[in-house]
Copies of this chain bind each other. A is one copy, B any other.
Amino acid sequence: MRWLRSYNASSLAGDATAGLIVTVMLIPQSLAYAMLAGLPPQAGLYASILPLVAYAALGSSTTLAVGPVAVISLMTAAALAPLAPAGSPEYAAAAVLLAFLSGLFLLAFAALRLGFIAQFLSHPVIAGFISGSAILIVLGQLKHVVGNAPTTAIGLGTIAFLAAARAWVPGLAGKLAPMAAIIVATALTTLFGFDVKVVGSVPQGLPRLVLPETKWLAELWMPALLISLVGFVESVSVARSLGARRGERIAPNRELAGLGAANVASALSGGFPVTGGFARSVVNFDAGARTPLAGVISAALMALALAGLTGLLHSLPHAVLAATIIIAVSSLIDWHALRETWRYDRADAAAFLATTAGVLALGVERGVLAGVAISLGMIVWRASRPHIAVLGRVPGTEHFRNVKRHTVETRPELLVVRVDESLFFANAAAVREEVERLAAAEPPLQRVLLVLSAVNHIDATALAMLDELERELAARGVSLCLAEVKGPVMDRLARTELGARMKERVYLSTHQAFQA
């Protein structure tokens, strides 16, 4: 909370404006995402007060807007659906426990300094997961915007209005469209008494503090873990991309703490899992938020709304909320990122599509696991394919370059191979096979020179590989030599049997080895 000690009046104008505009977005979104999560509207409002204050106290981003978000609400619905009927008191109690457990996981990760785990999901996998979830959400909401004639009219009318506002009203003014739609639709429904499903009575007043019931602990710890992982990864990437715009560093472990506290606060207020949302955070940034005080101001305004205005929500049609969700999440289906990724890196685009397909085929929970598995698979795949270059001498110099890219001199009795990665068990076999393949193709070969300029470590498996490779080549009359072995690598190597055997065949530079 360093920002609080150096707070000045010039920041207040920006924070207050941003806080107000975010609140105007947050009211419809919190009602809509509560509906998406299968919870009564007040749960969404409750999840939008204390969590914002908790994040402001512990988080590291100055602009992240915390609260209910679409993907986490979908995951909440998926986790709770098997346990109790949506809308029942048991269901709401389970949502509280889910938020509480997510918060505990996040706080535990913060204590264990596991902030680095966010990096083990690739961006395309995250984008693919969010796109797949968004498609599931749109499909799930369609039933709320079509029905009897008035429902369909209000639903499709609101979608048309919101889409038009998004297309033609640039900047912050366009962000107020959902609130405008709510006000107009509620007023018309109150006046004309349309035959549509409405929000109904929302209890007035601030949330009472509740303690989570532990009844469904066994069923909910796993979904809570997945929700905390997805919430953290999504939130950190939003915080990072906004932070980059103003030279602000995001500390992953403080983000874990901030989001953990926010979820515990949401649980205690009778809410459901929350995290940092993309759209509201961008608005917060664009509206001029300077410090986390903007979030505190939003929280205060939400509390005022809960204390006084809930009566006005009675005749708000569900179709309007569903239309709000559909328009909000349709921008999460990230065609642009997919197209860009496709142009830039086909493998990444394939991971994107595979994750989206995984979410659509397996559902949102197993979709996360599919995404994690795809990301792990990509790490392992990459680790097993080291970059290996055959080198030759640039004529008249002491420089050695890849024979594929440069005009260089080679000698038929000498094969010079550079491995551009540290040697360890996942790439040891690939290195050995490539060297064997290269060596087999050169009949008059007498020496293979391994250039280890890019090798910072050789693990025990790779050491055994080198040992076997040396023996195998020796049995075929070819001697294995080393060059440019880094100091720490040489120190370790010298202590081994292989190091002792090769002592006379380790050269300082590739050039020296080439001369010898």
A residues in contact (CB < 8 Å) with B: 116, 118-124, 240-241, 243-249, 252, 340-341, 343-345, 347-348, 375-376, 378-380, 382-384, 387, 405, 420-422, 424-430, 436, 440, 454, 456, 459-461, 463-464, 467-469, 471-476, 487, 492, 495-496
Contact = CB atoms under 8 A, between A and B. Distances in A.
B119 A425 contact: yes
A244 B464 CA distance: 11
Interface centre among A116, A375, A473 (most CB of B within 10 A): A116
Contacts of A241: 464, 468
8 contacts: A120-B426, A122-B425, A244-B468, A244-B471, A244-B472, A347-B459, A420-B456, A454-B454
Contact of A124 (B245, B422, B436, B461): B461
Contact of A436 (B249, B383, B456): B249
Contacts of A459: 122, 345, 347-348
A468 B240 contact: yes
A383 B376 CA distance: 11
A345 B459 CA distance: 7
A236 to B, nearest CB: 9
A422 B387 contact: yes
Contact of A344 (B245, B376, B469, B492): B492
A473 B244 CA distance: 8
**Shortest Cβ-Cβ A-B pairs, 3 listed:** A247-B475, A244-B468, A122-B425
A459 B384 CA distance: 16
Given A122-B460, A383-B379, A454 B116 contact: no
Nearest to A467: B244
A424 B123 CA distance: 10
A475 B246 contact: yes
A251 to B, nearest CB: 9
Of A116, A252, A382, A460, the most chain B CB neighbours within 10 A belong to A460
